[in-house]
Structure 1
Amino acid sequence: MWDYTNYLNYKVTTVEGRYVTNTHIEGFLNSLDDPFHLEVLGRSVEERPIYGISVGHGAKRVFMWSQMHGNESTTTKAALDLLSFLKNESSLASELLGKVTLKIIPILNPDGANAYTRFNANQIDLNRDAQKKSQPESQVLRKTFEDFSPNYCFNLHDQRTIFNVGKKERPATVSFLAPSFDEGRNNSSSRSVAMNIIAAMDYELQKLIPGQVGRFDDSFNPNCVGDAFQMEGIPTILFEAGHYHEDYQREKTREYIFKSLYKAIDTIAHERMNNYPLEDYYKIPENNKLYVDILLENAYVLDKSLRENDCISLIYKEILTKNRIIFVPFIAEKGFRTGQYFGHKTVDCLNKEDMQWLSSQKIPELIK
């Protein structure tokens, strides 16, 4: 098994932060030579290239795509790190590439990535276009799926900072899902295999971020790509990159997604799925939405209409400004009682130092 402490040797440091576009990744992609195969699979609404990278010559085919939602870039960074690891020509990388063949679309929605938005240039959510396939990006994804004929699919996303694990004060730093294939949320052989692989990833992540792995909601929607591929009998896994303490640039989360990808591929390559029983998948707590970015306690100091134990919650909006993302707080809710939510940062308005921090962020002016 690979020593995870080596991660920084493979991190692609030329691509960091939340704003990741084709322009940011093309330098690294163009550095890939044999045995990697880089191609343009198609073009977006605004004629940006949609890149695909193939590597490996094993019988087990794994297809993954990232930035289906253009503002969800953490998994793209992790996928580049995975390629960097496979590029290093170690015996471990060579062994994996002898057992698996990977097809990776690092940015499926390059227009949305450029504008830093969930949607494509036609304002369509590509993850609700699996049946209609109305968009050129959806058509590229479908054609690549059919041409590659994968044995496994990884659907790579980010999730918001609001998600926690179960009912605990733990951020959902990484979440997974084996998507449903029917309204009854039943199991099948393919869905069960996806659950086994998720259990394997959770086993590794609990050593690194104990209590910070969640299970995403499995409500069935055939318009979602993961559900649609699961319906076709292909084990499909949803990856959701979430928040790690003070990691708004998602550089630590990126590391945990990379390690998850490695574990999943290693489990597939060596056919170790049965080492991780289905009950371990169901033991992963479901996500809840109990976090806010900033929790103001004793908020009556700032808003005299509130009672003594009332709170105010603030959530950051991610704003693209001069090719970087800035985090701007806005009021989410006022007047709820202490204990209703957790704060990634909790501020006591009776505390002088906390109030100085609030003033530095211009939050009192926002509330007034």
Structure 2
Amino acid sequence: MKYWAYLFGLVLASAACRGIGQNTYNDVPDTAMLAKAFETYREPAIVHRRFKHADIEPLILKRRDGGAFEVTQLGVSVLKKAIYQVKYGQGPKKVMLWSQMHGNEPTATMALMDIFNFLEGAGDGMDNLRNLLKEQTSIYFIPMLNPDGADIYNRRNAMDVDLNRDARAGATVEGRILLEAAKRIQPSYGFNLHDMNIYYNVPGTPNPVTIALLAPAYNAERDINEVRGNAMKIAVGMNRILQGYVPDGVAKYDDTHSPRAFGDNFQKWGASTVLIEAGGYKGDPEKQFIRKLNFIIILNALIEIAQGSYAQYDIAEYEALPFSDSKLSDLLLRNVGASRDSIDYKVDLSINRDEHTVESDYYVRSRITDIGDLKENYGYVDFDADGYHFMPGNVYPKVVKGVGDISPEQAMEWLRQGYYAIQVANAPENRHHSLPLMIFSGRAPTPASPNLGRDANFFLAKDGKPAYAVINGYLIDLSSPPNETFKNYVW
């Protein structure tokens, strides 16, 4: 494929069809209107992150029978799953949005299903917005670019290639589908929709980065031309909305230029491209609140593109956003008393709960990720353990028949007695459980110690008695019933 000729042609075509500010539209939707639209048009079939291609495909195909969209199959993945394009509008401003090129980054795909529902709506006082989009934009959605990865909740495709590092080589069938769509459409705007891990924080604060924004750099020098500058302005409009929902919860993603990445290349090819990374938000493990934020900022950005109103924003406002830091963990214990070789000391412990996918569910396995002076670090749960001492737990001496024979009350009582692990004779076929215990059916868990990389299963003791339990990275106050939803597993 003659990529250089293609890229040069795309740059010229994109520049020719730009036309910022040619239309004025004064009825700008406010945040309350967009939030109401989300609640009205939220797709009820998708309620968790680990949906599969078979869940999304019917939601796409049903659009073929209505008059709002044009649905086209662009090709198939490595494992022969269909990849679709959903087009809305017939206007001169061409916009491309693609989601889930990383299979385990599903938040924007959920939001696109909600946007599809909104665009099909009528008679709700927002038809003027739909008409604006129809007349001024042609929007090309490619939801779930990596269906094979999505089906196993994996970042890479079935060839083990990161699709977002395939813009230059075009080695994957999915990467070529996106490249060919860009060549055919020649967009003026692009939205590269992703998730990032939940451990990014806004620098100097305990706030998770709920949304990271980026106008990717089109060269190593990170120069700003009109194309990238317009992307920065679109991001400013997004940030202004987000500050009303997650004050100080927005940052920029790393803008180091990657010559292999799609966002960087779309920017180079002449499409003002914004990267949206859905991060973390406390109490939102399935990212349903962040799904709402994606719906609002994407829809508002499309409206601002249609009316040209993003041109009002100042690039300096984008540049003032801090870059994401990475000093957040699931649990941070400060000033934990510990002993080793007759040496008593205090130490901070950072603990993360790593997710392991099983079909449409997952369990977590925790580990100690850092030890020492962590004063500049933070936790979703941040606990000052001054006055408490690290205490390994014991394995309950009797074998219990099965998980169903253990009540939550009994589990808590065993924890208060210093037992953190229970052996069961019969492991259930579905090995997930929600009890605040380590449950095993074979070999006993490794004894705990305050060392890097070790499983986080121990007690915080006061006067030699357990006061708190740390079970699989969850902090449990033994003086009251637990208020967590545990994602544990029978080992």
Q: TM-score range by the shorter chain?
A: over 0.9
Q: Residue 105 of structure 2 aligns with which residue?
A: 72
Separation (CA, whole Å) in 2 of partners of 1:361 and 1:251: 28
Matched, 1:27 2:27: no
Q: Which has the larger radius of gyration?
A: 2
Is the helix fraction higher in 1 or 2? Answer: 1
Separation (CA, whole Å) in 2 of partners of 1:351 and 1:318: 28
1:307–1:49 distance in 2 versus 1, CA, 3 Å: farther
Q: Residue 8 of structure 2 aligns with which residue?
A: none
* Residue 308 of structure 1: how far off its partner (Å): 4.4
1:68-217 superposed matches below 5 A:
68-89=101-122, 90-91=126-127, 92-217=129-254
* Residue 55 of structure 1: how far off its partner (Å): 1.0
Q: Contact 1:86–1:94 at 8 Å: present in 2 too?
A: no
Q: Residue 18 of structure 1 aligns with which residue?
A: 49
Percent identity among equivalent residues?
30
The one-letter code sitting in structure 1 at the alignment partner of 2:230 is: V
Matched, 1:253 2:290: yes
Task: Using CA pairs under 8 Å that are at least 6 residues apart, name the structure with larger relative contact order, 1 or 2.
Answer: 1
Matched, 1:319 2:356: yes
Separation (CA, whole Å) in 2 of partners of 1:204 and 1:169: 21
- Counterpart pick for 2:79 among 42, 46, 49: 46
1:307–1:341 distance in 2 versus 1, CA, 3 Å: farther
- Counterpart pick for 2:95 among 55, 62, 68: 62
Q: Residue 337 of structure 1 aligns with which residue?
A: 373
Given the two structures, how large is their TM-score scaled by the length of structure 2?
0.70
Q: SS at 1:274's partner residue?
A: helix
The one-letter code sitting in structure 2 at the alignment partner of 1:21 is: K
1:322–1:126 distance in 2 versus 1, CA, 3 Å: closer
Q: Contact 1:290–1:342 at 8 Å: present in 2 too?
A: yes
Given the two structures, how large is their TM-score scaled by the length of structure 1?
0.93
Separation (CA, whole Å) in 2 of partners of 1:26 and 1:211: 36
The one-letter code sitting in structure 2 at the alignment partner of 1:343 is: G
* Residue 135 of structure 1: how far off its partner (Å): 0.4
Q: Contact 1:309–1:337 at 8 Å: present in 2 too?
A: no
1:351–1:309 distance in 2 versus 1, CA, 3 Å: closer
Separation (CA, whole Å) in 2 of partners of 1:167 and 1:307: 30
* Residue 78 of structure 1: how far off its partner (Å): 1.0
- CA shift digits 1:181-238 (9 cap, x unpaired): 1111111110000001001111111112111111011101110111111111211111
Q: Residue 276 of structure 2 aligns with which residue?
A: 239
The one-letter code sitting in structure 1 at the alignment partner of 2:258 is: N
- CA shift digits 1:150-207 (9 cap, x unpaired): 1101000001011011222211000110000111111111000000100111111111
Q: Which ranges in structure 2 are unaligned for 5 or more consecutive residues?
A: 1-27, 390-411, 421-435, 439-444, 449-454, 458-491
RMSD: 2.3
Separation (CA, whole Å) in 1 of partners of 2:344 and 2:164: 43
- CA shift digits 1:117-145 (9 cap, x unpaired): 11110110011111100000000000111
Separation (CA, whole Å) in 2 of partners of 1:344 and 1:59: 45
Separation (CA, whole Å) in 2 of partners of 1:39 and 1:361: 50
Q: Residue 4 of structure 1 aligns with which residue?
A: 34
Number of residue pairs matched by the alignment: 364
1:10–1:296 distance in 2 versus 1, CA, 3 Å: same
- CA shift digits 1:269-327 (9 cap, x unpaired): 110122111011011111100101111234335x7579644122122222111322333
Q: Contact 1:21–1:107 at 8 Å: present in 2 too?
A: no
